[in-house]
Amino acid sequence: MTDRNDPSRRDFLASSMKAAAVAGMVTAAGCAAADRKGPTIAVSAGPTPRRIGADGQIRFGLIGIGGRGQGLLDVLLKQKNISIKALADLDPNNRKAVIEKVKAATGESIDVYTEPDDYKNKLLARDDIDAVLSATPCWLHGPVYLACFAAGKHFYGEKPMCIEANEADALVEAQKKNPQVVGQIGFQRRASKLYAEGIKRIKEGEFGEMIDGRAAWNNNWGPIGRPSEGARIWLGRRKLSGDWMLEQACHSWDVINWVAGEMPVAASGVGRRDVFKDMDPQRDVTDYYIAHIVYKCGLNVDFEHSWICPHKDKEQFTGVFERFAGTKGGITFGDGWMYWRDPSMEPEQIKVDDGDHTVRAIEAFLNSVRTGAPNVSTVETGRLATYTGLLVRKAVDERRWVKIEELL
């Protein structure tokens, strides 16, 4: 899509190198960004979590357990040495389902909290809870995860890490102040051996200098967040979901940033927020957009994201993928096939026993909590994905190149 010799692109890249220097500094310095838009959020050093040990029992509190949360809970309840103590959720049907699941799996009767601030004032105030599983609507992620750090509770919290830049900075700061707390963000691809192996090969230079990234998130099962879905209308409201660049594409940004090893320098894009207005006049999410993202390392990424798939079975209109090509070869994620320009080299598929990424992610979380093993999906990488989502959202809204320094 972009010509490397195009003068406007060269000018853009030259000017964006200054932004890159800033982006690099911020990547390295974590929350050292000045001149950000939202006010700085003060964070505190909470209590140190209790030591659990390799075979110890982990006592859980659950916060916001709807559709995704119940999927995560099913995985958690199959693990050894888990106890569930309490649930905070606003929805009576979800509460009932969770109470029944826990009773059936462990025999426990859990305490239940029903008000919006109970997660903080009641559940996180308990001293018989070591860790939290949380899958609330996106706008609440930042506040819940900050409260977990302040209370000294480990947490597995769904993505995106948060939908505001100042919350992202504060979470990185909170992790620094509370280094014993395992704060794992729900980017399950981070627990995949296939992704880890593919990215290792990229970093080892097997495909040469990485130039071309292509990724898509084209949905054939929506749109979701319709008025008929009750409380789940939050998915059709930017204020509550952050919009699809935060709610859904954050998985893609996380993979792309992982490949690039840095935050993007700039993005451009165009899109539409009015596609399903006839169904819901208040719907204000960008149900269709395309974006172009530039990295200091030379990687350029084209991304497409859509809910307007006209036929659910037509694969050209639908699907999720990330693929990367360099001067010597390329790799497609999802399936892990690798190709080389050298005709003597046969395509090769990464063969690993990967299983379900969400199961691997929950297992990794429990292992980190018990043994102190490295966190596979940290708040630092969560911050990069949130910033990338905010960058792309601004670029699409304003239909222009936006430099990352405009957000910092």
The answer to whether 158 contacts ligand NAD (rule: CB under 6 A) is: yes
Count residues binding ligand NAD (CB under 6 A): 26
Task: Single out the residue of 51, 68, 60, 1 nearest to residue 302, CA to CA.
Answer: 1
Nearest distance, CB of residue 251 and ligand NAD, angstroms: 7
Nearest distance, CB of residue 136 and ligand NAD, angstroms: 4
The answer to whether 66 contacts ligand NAD (rule: CB under 6 A) is: yes
Nearest distance, CB of residue 137 and ligand NAD, angstroms: 5
- C-beta of 207 vs 234, nearer to ligand NAD: 234
The piece of 58-66, 145-153, 263-271, 312-320 that touches ligand NAD (CB under 6 A) is 58-66
Alpha-carbon dihedral sign for residues 318, 238, 159, 173? positive
- C-beta of 71 vs 372, nearer to ligand NAD: 71
The answer to whether 67 contacts ligand NAD (rule: CB under 6 A) is: yes
Nearest distance, CB of residue 373 and ligand NAD, angstroms: 21
The answer to whether 119 contacts ligand NAD (rule: CB under 6 A) is: yes
Q: Of all helices (H) and strands (E), which one includes residue 263?
A: none
Task: Single out the residue of 365, 62, 16, 348 nearest to residue 194, CA to CA.
Answer: 348
Q: E strands along 273-380, which residues?
A: 288-294, 300-306, 319-326, 329-332, 337-340, 348-349
The answer to whether 120 contacts ligand NAD (rule: CB under 6 A) is: no
The answer to whether 364 contacts ligand NAD (rule: CB under 6 A) is: no
Q: Which residue has 């292509």 as its token pair?
A: 214
Question: Is residue 353 a contact partner of residue 180, using CB atoms and an 8 Å limit?
Answer: no
Widest distance between CA atoms in the chain: 68
Amino acid at 403: K
Q: Which residue has 């990069």 as its token pair?
A: 384
Residue nearest to ligand NAD (CB): 66
**Binding string, 70-99, against ligand NAD, x = CB under 6 A?**
------------------xxxx--x-----
CA distance 92 to 230: 13
Task: Single out the residue of 251, 295, 291, 258 nearest to residue 404, CA to CA.
Answer: 295
The answer to whether 243 contacts ligand NAD (rule: CB under 6 A) is: no
The answer to whether 188 contacts ligand NAD (rule: CB under 6 A) is: yes
Question: Is residue 211 a contact partner of residue 298, using CB atoms and an 8 Å limit?
Answer: yes
CA distance 350 to 167: 37
The piece of 8-16, 57-65, 304-312, 314-322 that touches ligand NAD (CB under 6 A) is 57-65
Side-chain-facing half-sphere of 128: CA atoms under 13 Å: 7
Residue among 63, 172, 215, 390 that touches ligand NAD (CB under 6 A) = 63
Q: Which residue has 């691809």 as its token pair?
A: 189
Nearest distance, CB of residue 268 and ligand NAD, angstroms: 25
- C-beta of 137 vs 271, nearer to ligand NAD: 137
The whole-angstrom distance between residue 162's C-alpha and the CA centroid of its chain comes to 9
The answer to whether 186 contacts ligand NAD (rule: CB under 6 A) is: yes
In the beta sheet, which residues pair with residue 185?
A: 157
The piece of 27-35, 133-141, 269-277, 288-296 that touches ligand NAD (CB under 6 A) is 133-141
Footprint of ligand NAD (CB under 6 A):
63-69, 88-91, 94, 116, 119, 135-138, 140, 158-159, 186, 188, 231-232, 247
